[in-house]
Structure 1
Amino acid sequence: MKHLFVVLSVYMLALTVSKAQPNDSLEFRVQDKRFNISGGLDVYYAYDFSEPLDKERLFTTQAFRHNEFNLNWGFLQADYSTEGVRATLALQTGTYVQANYAAEPNELTRLIAQANAGVKLLEGVWLDLGILPSHIGYENTFSLNNEVYTRALMAENSPYYETGAQLTADVSEKVTLKFLVLNGWQNIQETNDAKSLGFGISYNPTERLSLSYNNYYGNEAPKGMEAKRRFFHNVYGSYIFSEKLHVAGSVDYGRQELFSSEEKGSWYAGMVLAQFKLAPRFAVAGRLEHYNDEDQIIVSTLNPNGFQTSSASLNFDYVPTPNFLWRLEARAYDSKDKVFVGEEGAKDNNLLLVTSFAVKF
């Protein structure tokens, strides 16, 4: 991984740095504004009161390791953009990658956060192919972009990334449509011969209000097995009341043919959150949520009631500079069954304390 970051960094630096004249001081300046280099780091310490086995926290990809300082996510990204062509390559590492990409059989592909290229077909219409950020959900991968440090259970159990083709159309200044053909539900390497479909619509009627509906349809059975079709819906919205206060909410509903029978099962989830800025450099945020997967389609617990869990988070932010964020979060869980397994056995409730430094450049 280290070698990949070094090669990418040196290559992009060579494209953007000009040579100094013999009698001039060494001067760095961008020669081509079509290129942009960015990156980020999110380092953390988490203490999980269930004291999970092997230090690996259950039902999460964020702050994955218990009672140790670690890197949650680090990425280095190169973007290229012209009037009619665009491309992104981003490499990644961290315990988020360890947890979220464990199902990818090729270790090399786990290091790829994004790898996509796009072409403008018409004004406001783009076609992109490759490994893309997910079109589903309110919260995204990088903690600095979210109100609360850890992700909601609904975010952890829906795609963070997708692989395929995405057609994006800006219908107006307020409406954007997305149509997708994908390998599957958060996978880079295909697991069967079928392709999945996705659709999304975003509506921003005012500068304060944002609304979005997204769906997914695909066969989730491995190759050689009878098809098990999944149909998933996600709706979210956010509203800015003032410079200090904004709120957001999201709802998921999914339905799929069960692997154990010909019947269909379902799962649903919901969350609400709010963030309040106490001062220019300080903010607090809270999140309430519930995730219900009694049929164990997404989350397998081997318990009679599946995964029926609620969670509440309280988050405190300190922002010394615009691109740096120090966070503290306390998160409590309550489940219908004893799903939190640790050194002292299983229990139906849990508490997490976590702190993080995140920087984006």
Structure 2
Amino acid sequence: MRSFPSVVALLFATYSVAQVSDTTTSATAQAAVHTGPGLTLTGYVEAYYVHDFTAPKTSQERPAFLYNHKRNREVNINLAFVKAAYTTARVRSNLALQVGTYVQYNYAAEQGLVKPIFEANAGVKLSRAKDLWLDAGIFTSHIGFESAISKDCWTLTRSLVAENSPYYLAGAKLTYNSGNGRWTLLGMVTNGWQRVKKLEGYSGPSISTQVQYRPSDKLTLNWSSFLGSDRPDSLRQGRFYNNVYVIMNPQGHFGLILGFDIGADRKPVVRTGSTIRVDGGGSYVWFSPVVIARCKASDKSYVAGRVEYYDDRNAVVIGIPGFQTFGYSLNYDYAILPNALLRMEGKVYSSTKALFESARGLTRSNASLTTSLAVSF
């Protein structure tokens, strides 16, 4: 079996570069390489440096609930991938191989052979007249307005809600796009909450949906959901998660994103000898509102600000009891070239309890400065 670096080298060796425009709302244009009918090769590399002003000088990692731009006070690669996409009128498939610290931390629970896979899926169009597709494999998640690809997001670093909800999902899905381009309807059977390898002791599967409405190119309304569990069957902890967001005027001089996520896990079953009872009844609830505003400063630059709050006081997802944290960030982007984006972001976290490492012990606030250079091809 070829090693991952050998596979990447082989992909690069098979084509010569030709650029086309990206369809994302980011400030950069992505390049693509066409090696034959229906086949496109693309790539992405994001290098970064984070200076955490709060953490002790010996601390090399950002807080445990963050998975992107994780390494502190060192130049590193957050995410790099090469992607081959094959598309015809009735068939499509994607294969993307990845490296970076995002992979190191976000895929820690996956099997070794799965970790280098950013995407691997295949699909068929079920109708000649309608845009209805059946796809199966490993996908980037449809839950949330942010992804691991920083250049496609309005801010350099990810929001707390993005860091603690699925970046990827594995399973099979049906996707329908209306003829007028306004509606997207999706239903998916998944292996679990951001899992390729199903959780031990969970019989599953889980279900995820998406309903997206775009009345114009200036407004997107989205509701995505997850119904299943991320606990063994013995605990009987079902999970219901909702992701709602609105994107307004994404290509204009001023744009706005309003997001609100809320999830609930049933309280676990407690066994005492032969007696089974639910611990107090009801559910543990966590939620997170976020607001991002972006302003076009020039033809090549954007300024963006973010205010967010994450409440997981029962430690369902983040794992820190009493977690109630505000986040504030200010972002500047400059497109050096159509496919090269330089970014800088200052961020402050403020929590109701002392949970951030500092030279004097735990503190309730954390401040950091992140820079990155992203190139797509």
TM normalised by structure 1 equals 0.91
Matched, 1:333 2:342: no
RMSD: 1.9
Structure-2 residue corresponding to 1:23: none
Task: Assess if the C-alpha contact under 8 Å between 1:44 and 1:72 holds in 2.
Answer: yes
Task: Assess if the C-alpha contact under 8 Å between 2:34 and 2:40 holds in 1.
Answer: no
- The residue matched to 1:184 in structure 2 has which SS? coil
Matched, 1:228 2:232: no
TM normalised by structure 2 equals 0.87
Structure-1 residue corresponding to 2:327: 311
Q: CA deviation at 1:241?
A: 7.7
The Cα offsets for residues 167-191 of structure 1, whole Å up to 9 and x where unpaired, read as 0011342111000000000011111
- The residue matched to 1:67 in structure 2 has which SS? coil
Aligned length: 342
Q: CA deviation at 1:342?
A: 4.2
Distance 2:225 2:192 in 1: 13
> Quick one: which amino acid aligns to residue 109 of structure 1?
V
Task: Assess if the C-alpha contact under 8 Å between 1:61 and 1:156 holds in 2.
Answer: yes
> Quick one: which amino acid aligns to residue 261 of structure 2?
D
- Structure 2 vs 1, CA of residues 115 and 328 (structure 1 numbering), >3 Å: closer, same or farther? same
Task: Assess if the C-alpha contact under 8 Å between 2:15 and 2:35 holds in 1.
Answer: no
Task: Assess if the C-alpha contact under 8 Å between 2:125 and 2:133 holds in 1.
Answer: yes
Task: Assess if the C-alpha contact under 8 Å between 2:68 and 2:148 holds in 1.
Answer: no
Q: CA deviation at 1:258?
A: 2.9
Match for 1:182 among 160, 180, 190? 190
> Quick one: which amino acid aligns to residue 43 of structure 2?
G
> Quick one: which amino acid aligns to residue 11 of structure 2?
L
Matched, 1:47 2:51: yes
Distance 2:92 2:374 in 1: 27
Bigger drift between 47-56 and 91-100 goes to 47-56
Superposed, 1:277-292 pairs within 5 Å as 277-292=296-311
Match for 2:211 among 184, 201, 205? 201
Q: CA deviation at 1:71?
A: 0.4
The Cα offsets for residues 36-71 of structure 1, whole Å up to 9 and x where unpaired, read as 000100101101123266411112111100000000
User: What residue ranges of structure 1 are gaps of 5+ in the alignment?
Assistant: 17-28
Task: Assess if the C-alpha contact under 8 Å between 1:312 and 1:331 holds in 2.
Answer: yes
**Following TM superposition, where does structure 1 have runs of at least 4 consecutive aligned residues deviating by more than 2 angstroms?**
7-10, 258-263, 341-344
Matched, 1:117 2:122: yes
- Structure 2 vs 1, CA of residues 357 and 238 (structure 1 numbering), >3 Å: closer, same or farther? same
Q: CA deviation at 1:103?
A: 1.5
Bigger drift between 238-247 and 70-79 goes to 238-247
- Structure 2 vs 1, CA of residues 241 and 68 (structure 1 numbering), >3 Å: closer, same or farther? closer
Distance 2:303 2:72 in 1: 24
Structure-1 residue corresponding to 2:21: none
Q: CA deviation at 1:155?
A: 0.5
Q: CA deviation at 1:13?
A: 3.7
Structure-2 residue corresponding to 1:171: 178
Structure-2 residue corresponding to 1:7: 10
Q: CA deviation at 1:282?
A: 1.8
Task: Assess if the C-alpha contact under 8 Å between 1:220 and 1:227 holds in 2.
Answer: no
Q: CA deviation at 1:31?
A: 5.6
Task: Assess if the C-alpha contact under 8 Å between 1:221 and 1:228 holds in 2.
Answer: yes
- The residue matched to 1:237 in structure 2 has which SS? strand
Q: CA deviation at 1:343?
A: 4.5
User: What residue ranges of structure 2 are gaps of 5+ in the alignment?
Assistant: 19-32, 271-278
The Cα offsets for residues 93-146 of structure 1, whole Å up to 9 and x where unpaired, read as 101111111121x11211100000000001200010000111100111100001
Distance 2:35 2:149 in 1: 29
Task: Assess if the C-alpha contact under 8 Å between 1:258 and 1:297 holds in 2.
Answer: no
Structure-2 residue corresponding to 1:34: 38
Q: CA deviation at 1:242?
A: 6.8
